[in-house]
Structure 1
């Protein structure tokens, strides 16, 4: 079992999952607006199982998809973090960054703020050479976040876990190398 890494940004806390997060997470995963770029919404049991997997990975390795809490309100607002995706992906092995926030917290810059903290952790603590992100080709909001993070669009691919013929089957891949991230960080701090 690893030491659990948590981090703060100006307005957010990335932390280990708590039992009290489960209801809000289930509501987020049942929201058709939040889940419009996923094959389906999640049932309460599926949502709880996903949270248990994320909690277990953080307990095991110290990092993963963290629960995100708004500092001012101390409310759970979603997740952000790093993950090693399934080996069936055409660009595996890799480490991905991902996020999912409750819709009431959209438009506040929280996804970018939390993702910047996760990228910093991945590049400075895990010493990753590259971090990727991917989404449906139709998911323009997430693609915009990826671009704002400095990620560069790479190839499109057919996601092996989305049925062939499904409107969400084709995904786009974005990449960010450690060198590019470091250059972008140097520009923002100077």
Structure 2
């Protein structure tokens, strides 16, 4: 399963593959309306959205398309969110994205940037790509801040899954500096 970061860790976080037993904890993400406010889409029930989330990650794992890793806070051993390297098709081009989503109760603690930087470094050290992106809704200010702190810059604006988004990017050369 290329691009997965199982066994990686940072100062405060452990990365591991998603397990079916994570469903109940991650369901809370889908129950909070703030987690979907930046994306235009027809949403099913939180339970169905959570099932789709896990089905999508399992599909990614099985097809070497990367996937989210569960983030476990070392201090509490709690699932706090997901972060990972995802193969995406943006404007007809395959790109490697750093994606991140945290449970709202863990927002504003620096976990997203800690996890995203680890993904960035892992991808470049393993020569997965010459550049990495993050796909961020035009209205998602917190995610934009994470991307900027991760050394990324706005590369372009486009439409992705019927949503207007910024494509933030960092190249390996920029990372080396």
Check whether TM > 0.5.
yes
Q: Which residue matches 2:169?
A: 175
Deviates more, 1:39-48 or 1:108-117: 39-48
Q: Which of 52, 57, 66 is equivalent to 1:54? A: 57
Paired residues for 1:1-190 under 5 Å: 5-6=5-6, 7-40=8-41, 43-58=46-61, 61=64, 63-85=66-88, 87=89, 89-90=90-91, 92-159=93-160, 161-162=161-162, 169-183=163-177
The Cα shift of 1:72 comes to 0.9
Relative to its length, the structure with more strand (as a share) is 2
Would the aligned equivalents of 2:65 and 2:87 in 1 still touch at CA under 8 Å? no
CA–CA distance in 2 between the matches of 1:125 and 1:152? 22
Calculate the TM-score normalised by the size of structure 1.
0.82
Q: Could you report, residue by residue, the CA deviation over 1:28-75 in whole angstroms, capped at 9, with x for unpaired residues?
A: 022111221122555312312321331343355494211111111111
Deviation of 1:152 (Å):
1.1
* 1:146-179 CA-partner distances (Å, limit 9, x unpaired): 00111011111122x22xxxxxx32111110011
Give the secondary-structure state (helix, strand or coil) at the position aligned to 2:69.
strand
> 2 CA distance for matches of 1:122 and 1:182?
13
Superposed structure 1 runs of 4+ greater than 4 Å apart:
1-4
Change (3 A) 1:142 1:77: same
Contact 2:152 2:170 survives alignment (8 Å): yes
Report deviation, 1:20: 2.2
Shift of 1:107: 1.0
Residue 19 of structure 1, CA deviation: 2.2
Number of residue pairs the alignment of both structures matches? 174
Map of 1:166 onto structure 2: none
Q: Which has the larger radius of gyration?
A: 1
Q: Tell me, which stretches of 5 or more residues in structure 1 are unaligned?
A: 163-168, 184-190
**Cα distance, 1:5 vs structure 2:** 3.7
